[in-house]
Chain A
Amino acid sequence: MELTRRGFLKISTGALLLSSIGLNLEPAKAYAAELRTKGAKETTTVCPYCSVGCSIIVSVKDGKVINTEGDPDSPINEGALCPKGASIYQMANNPYRLTEPLYRAPGATQWKKISWEEALDRIAKLTKKTRDKYFITKNEKGQVVNRVDAIAHVGSAALDVEECYILQKLMRSLGLVYIEHQARI
């Protein structure tokens, strides 16, 4: 018999019923540590690494990821994970992550912190300035091309499907033709 997560829960409930009709489970209980994920909220995700698409259960308590494990219900991985998939707990709880925007001025030797407002406004200004300066309405042959070659974009297979969709909308609306990403290399 294949034991699914839900099946396992049913069996556990069965065991409780057994105990209520007189079977004493106390000695076993004494040795059983409380589940680390007790009381945690569970959501599912898909591994961010390779393209197999393994499903992972993420347990959250007090706004923090407290456990990640392979999702036995997924017909793709049936609960199995490789070392990378098994380590996404450390991706979520990671001391090295970037937590605020950083800026490096021309010629500077260090990063400095910058607010989102300041960074995004400056990026928008540079984008417009470069686009307006280098926009090509017609090519050398006189054909209408409405594009800008002076801005390029790479990425991203690291984004979600829906994000990729609006990203290509944004970049194409600006007139970019240099749009590439991981799939090429």
Chain B
Amino acid sequence: MTNQYNDLKNSDVILAMGGNPAENHPVAMKWIMKAKEQRGAKLVVVDPKFTRTAARADLYVPMRPGTDIVFLGGLIKYIIDNNLYFKDYVVNYTDASFLVDPNFKLPDELDGVFSGYDEKARKYDRSTWKYQLDENGVPKKDLTLQNPQCVFQLLKKQYSRYTIDTVSNICGSPKDKVEECYKILASTGKPDKVATVCYAMGWTQHTVGVQNIRAFAIVQLLLGNIGMAGGGVNALRGESNVQGSTDQGLLNHILTGYNPTPTASDVDLKTYLEKHTPKTKEPKSVNWWSNRPKYVISYLKAIYGDNATKENDFCFSYLPKRDDGKDYSWLSLFDDMYNGKIKGFFAWGQNPACSSGNAGKVRNALAKLDWLVCVNLWDNETASFWKGPGMDPKKIKTEVFMLPCASSVEKEGSVTNSGRIVQWRYKAVNPPGKAMPDAEIINEIYFRVKKLYEKEKGIFPEPILKLTWEYGEKDKNGKIKHVDIEKISKEMNGYFTADIAEHPIDKKAYKKGQQVPSFVLLRDDGTTACGNWVYSGSHTDAGNMKKRRGKEDPTGLGLFPNWAWAWPLNRRIVYNRASVDLQGNPWDPKRAVIKWDPVEKKWIGDVPDGPAPPLGLEGGRLPFIMKSLGVGTIFGSGLGDGPFPTHYEALECPFQENPLYKKHRINPTVKIFGNDADAFVFCDTRYPYVGTTYRVTEHWQTGLMTRNTDWLREMQPQIFAEIDPVLAKEKGIKSGDKVIVSTARGKVWAIAIVTPRLQPFKVLGQTIHMVGLPWHYGWRWPEDGSGGDTANLLTPTIGDANTLTPETKTFMVNIQKA
């Protein structure tokens, strides 16, 4: 989230697309309703299903699953054609005026792909996806936006075919509703009007997931809505700490604080830092990532302490290196497990036997393991996979451990919400029986592995033996008796590892051991340690900022700067320097996130994106500080599948061809998995309906927590399949009937719900029906099997071209009465 949940109340237009806040983030809806009631804001819902959010909307537009880019491409065209973009913002704060390499080609010119496509490798050579540079190495610009080679004109060309007729024809959305939707959203391309978006897995779980989000990010840049109160691009994330766990680098591609994990070609720290530290020749760009060496070296100092020295490359060689060009993400992990390459597996507070796309493949993959460690509050479909449906326990050799952990009220620590606010949770009671907090389990495993390496030696023990682990008092064997969470929190914030007589940034003296006040003071010479630079400032000498409960609201916008702490630097709305004009005056004075005080020569309001003066004044800086050129990028040259979003159909779709680009039905850069378990179909009469998955308020994720909560299970006891009344009549299905939903990979039973909330789509002269199922269920609980099993037994093994996030929102199914 660029903004905050309660900031939704400051919006004029709220788009819910790829998300259903009333159902899945109900308290977000409180703030949306406030915007409607207090400001007369409009809520627009674009969704394949008439959702609970749609029930409160001013406008609902149905849309066939997997066609978001067509819908949003049409919106971009509408904004440009009708001259409704916010010109001052677009010209000054985005790359719209930048000229692109003359050899760059759009999909319209190359049968559906951008220039540089290698069909065999299913990859792009991105060498033409670049700006033209002047003699100083800075992009050439045409501030009139007329040059046919400028980003703005290329954008216009890219979407020239995405007319409202085309949108209606491909998305199956009524023309008048499409136009009304565009009109409402485009009305915010003015300084004093703001739109926002609430999206979730409805955008990410597609083979074009990243491009779905980028399409709307482009809209927000055109309308000047990023950095504004009530604006931004807002992912309503699915878990209480999924932001925090991502920040801590629990992913194959990132260390803490979004520093990339090294690959084999990063032969030493210098090579790694040179490769990953962006340079800029734009004098007005802050280029914040130029600080990367400070953050990476401080991270190495935090995890390897005094062992990390300049002489030994700060123990850089201790970090495991991925092979260049190989994917290590979720789908590949389970593919390798299915192929028998993975022997040991930790499933920590996660239930992949239900949550993964193509869950049946995951269940079979688990049977190939030598050992499996599950840590959870309850028994689950992953830990007990060996006695699940179709399994013969006697033949399964996997050794399994199920370790009971503490719930959120049985330990202390913090969680980070979607708005990056890190809030503390206090311990209320002890865990039941012998259950232990996860931190204690981690500590126990670390200590025991370390002892074994001390005693028995082994291969390359240094990274284990030299790891810092000073989290409390030790017993006679050297084990931490009880993990002190505050000590971890302090290590994450960072501290000085040497006395500093005068810090070059703030001219102050610091003592060894003192907490670093913020990441601004981190250094690349080993004199600071910091476990996660984005959390630097959260636990300073002033104390644990995550515990704060102050209710002051100086801006009147509801930013509440003293309520807990938000990363980075307690900034509540990121890119807020884009909310002011070149002199530092807010575009909308009634919603001033920050403003420049010309007398005091400083910013007032939210923590600004850097202290430099506004762009138009001496020493002024561009607003998009994390981008090397300082501007919002409409031309996304860093992505794997194209600098502009382009419509491709889902891996499984009802058509033989992509209606827009005949030669490329699906995203040409997605990784295709070829195991026997990865079967897929398209335009196949055996599976004629579009399947999609979603959630219900009463359950959460695989339902493990909520199926085990009697009150909630009673409200939503079992899996259901929703279908429209026309299909129901055709198939002779009535509400309450037991049905079988099947795909090329598996089948589940469900209880049918026939509902007008679903309506057939008229697409390219065909009638397309949809079958929607929640995926919260599993065979293990309730024990009598009355809940059914997960809808992920149906979903395919395919992911987004950039992130490999599984495409579980669009696939082809059949449905029959059981």
Contacts and interface: CB of A to CB of B under 8 A. Distances in A.
A130 B355 contact: no
Given A45-B428, A184-B330, A175 B463 contact: yes
Contacts of A13: none
B321 interface: yes
B460 A139 contact: no
B445 A96 contact: no
Contacts of A87: 706, 709, 711-712
A83 B265 contact: no
A173 B318 contact: yes
B320 A83 contact: no
A43 B428 contact: yes
Interface stretch (A16-24, A27-35, A155-163): A155-163
Given A143-B321, A153-B345, A165 B425 contact: no
B698 A170 contact: no
A45 B425 contact: yes
Contacts of B25: 50-52
A45 B711 CA distance: 21
A46 B549 CA distance: 13
B476 to A, nearest CB: 16
A130 B279 CA distance: 42
A25 interface: no
B244 A107 contact: no
B350 A161 contact: no
Interface stretch (B102-110, B333-341, B741-749): B333-341
A96 B28 contact: no
Nearest to A137: B460
Contacts of B346: 151-155, 171
Given A53-B240, A98-B379, A83 B27 contact: no
B157 interface: no
B240 A173 contact: no
Contacts of A73: 549, 551
Nearest to B357: A185
Nearest to A138: B264
A159 B403 CA distance: 14
Given A183-B246, A184-B805, A123 B551 contact: no
A145 B264 contact: yes
B6 interface: yes
Interface string A115-148: 0100111111111101110110101010111111
A10 B452 CA distance: 59
Contacts of B433: 97-100
B542 interface: no
Nearest to B710: A90
A172 B317 CA distance: 12
B264 A94 contact: no
Given A84-B697, A143-B265, A156 B442 contact: no
A28 B373 CA distance: 58
A163 B401 contact: no
Interface string B395-415: 111111111100111111111
* A: interface residue count bin: 35 or more
A52 B27 contact: yes
A83 B449 contact: no
Nearest to B348: A155
Contacts of B364: none
A107 B371 CA distance: 12
A94 B449 CA distance: 33
A30 to B, nearest CB: 32
Given A98-B435, A105-B399, A157-B239, A83 B715 contact: yes
Interface string A65-90: 10010000111111011111101101
Q: Which of A105, A108, A178 has the most CB of B within 10 A?
A: A178
Contacts of A173: 303, 318, 446, 463-464, 467
B356 interface: yes
Given A107-B397, A154-B333, A168-B250, A84 B700 contact: yes
A120 B445 contact: yes
Contacts of B427: 43
Given A84-B712, A159-B438, A149 B341 contact: yes
A102 B25 CA distance: 35
Given A55-B423, A75-B560, A164-B245, A98 B417 contact: no
Contacts of B319: 146, 172
Interface in B355-394: 355-357, 370-371, 373, 375-379, 383-384, 386-387, 393-394
B344 A126 contact: yes
11 contacts: A60-B429, A65-B428, A90-B712, A100-B435, A125-B452, A132-B459, A147-B320, A153-B348, A155-B347, A167-B250, A178-B328
Given A128-B458, A179-B250, A184-B329, 7 more contacts: A52-B417, A92-B407, A145-B321, A148-B320, A166-B442, A182-B350, A185-B805
